[in-house]
Every structure is written in structure tokens, then in C-alpha cells.
Amino acid sequence: MKLAILIPAYNEEKTLGFVLESIPRRFPKISQVEIVVISDGSTDKTTEIAQKAGVTLIEHDLNRGLGGALGTGFEYARRHNFDVALTFDADGQHNPDDIWPVVRPIVRKYADVVVGSRLKNHDGMPWYRVIGIWGLNLITAIFFWVWSTDSQSGLRAFSKKAISKIDIQSSKMEVSSEFFYEIGRKNLKMLEVPIKSIYTDYSLEKGQKNWNALRIIGKLIYRRFFSK
């Protein structure tokens, strides 16, 4: 089986090198692991760091947003016939030891999509983040009828079936909720596994902000009721 680890990155020179070094290159029943960095209009040394690390680099000339970067990553995974795709943040928030627990249900064909949930064990997560995530979980469930304990998680795995069926239209942060619209609409089987994120001042600054919620809700309403 072939695994693509998709890492969207926008001006992540402070953490990207460490993140790339920390990711394992071998997993059970996975014959090929390819790390794909999507540099989303970065103006710092993000692209240079990815090039020196010897990973696959895809560059956007302009900053398109998280959804745009993930859409590019999914298209790459489809074109190159990957069996599994994993999304992994570039800010150092994710623990590389959580990759295999998230990928394993896909490899064993237990699920089409696996979400790494920080809220199944949110020790160390700032209280305002917990409130914000639960609020977006509720909104996501109301609009798309799919419940997740962590709809905004950046650590997710997708089967070949899910890679082929998921159609990302969002360009910004609302893509995290849009995945659940696609899961429900395409009848994909979803599982969650607990993960524990690594919180630093940097990752908290780069991550989702509660004040973005209203804009995200507006985008979700459009996606649910007005897009084709």
C-alpha cells in the first residue's frame, strides 16, 4: 500500500524542518511513504526547507488558504494512485507517534475516514480552544448531520475510496468542517481515534481562532444550501 502524508504549509520555517525529520518513514503493511509539502504561497524559507529535506514539494504562487492547499494535496494523491492519504499540520502540533493509530483502521479496511480527536483526551488544551471546537462540532453536525468530537482536527486519514470521492471546494479554514459534508454526502464510514496534540505558543498562534467561527459558519451555510 502507498501512503501520502500531505502537509499544508504557509510560512512554517520555524517548525517545518523538525516536523519533517520527526515523521516515520516506515509503517506496517505500507510499502511506500511519500511526504508531500504543499507550500501555500510561502514567502519565508518553507520551500527551501522542504527541498533540502528531499520530500515532494508542490508550490502555490499565491496563498490560497488551507482548503486550497489540501485540495491540491488530494489531487496529487488521486493522480498518483495512493491507497491512503494522511493530513498532518506543519506547525508542530501533532505527535508523529499518532500517525500509525490514525492510519491503521484504513489499512485494515475498518473505515474510509479516520479523524484523530484531540477532545477525547484534551489535557493541556486551552479552555477557550475546547469551547471553540465544541461549538464548531455542533454547527458541523447541524448542517451536515455527521457528528465528530473534533471536527477541526488536522490529523486525518483517508482511504483510496475517500480520496476519489471527496470534492474539496473550500479554500480557507472551513475545509475542516467541509470534510464532514463530504463524508455524509458520499456515505463514507468514519471512525475517530484519540490523539494528544503538542501545544506551544507558536502552534496556538498559528491555529484556528474562535473569532473565525462566524466566517466559517457563513461559508458552511453557503456550502450546504447554495453550492452544487
- Range list of H helices, 44-126: 46-53, 66-79, 99-107
**pLDDT at 210 (0 to 100):** 47
Residues 19-57: pLDDT tens digits?
A: 999 999 999 999 999 999 999 999 999 999 999 999 999
Structural domain boundaries, residue 165: 2-225
| CATH number of the domain where residue 65 is located | 3.90.550.10
The type of residue at 111 is A
Instruction: Report how many domains make up the chain.
Output: 1
Computed over every residue of the chain, the mean pLDDT equals: 88
Segment 126-147 mean pLDDT: 78
Query: Is the pLDDT score of 101 beyond 70?
Result: yes
**pLDDT at 11 (0 to 100):** 96
pTM score: 0.86
Residues 138-171: pLDDT tens digits?
A: 888 887 788 888 888 899 999 999 999 999 988 8
186-217 burial code (b ≥16 CB/10 A, e <16): eebebebbbbbbebeeebbebbbeeeeeeebb
Q: Decide: 68 and 171 in contact? Cβ < 8 Å.
A: yes
Q: Decide: 143 and 221 in contact? Cβ < 8 Å.
A: yes
Segment 191-214 mean pLDDT: 70
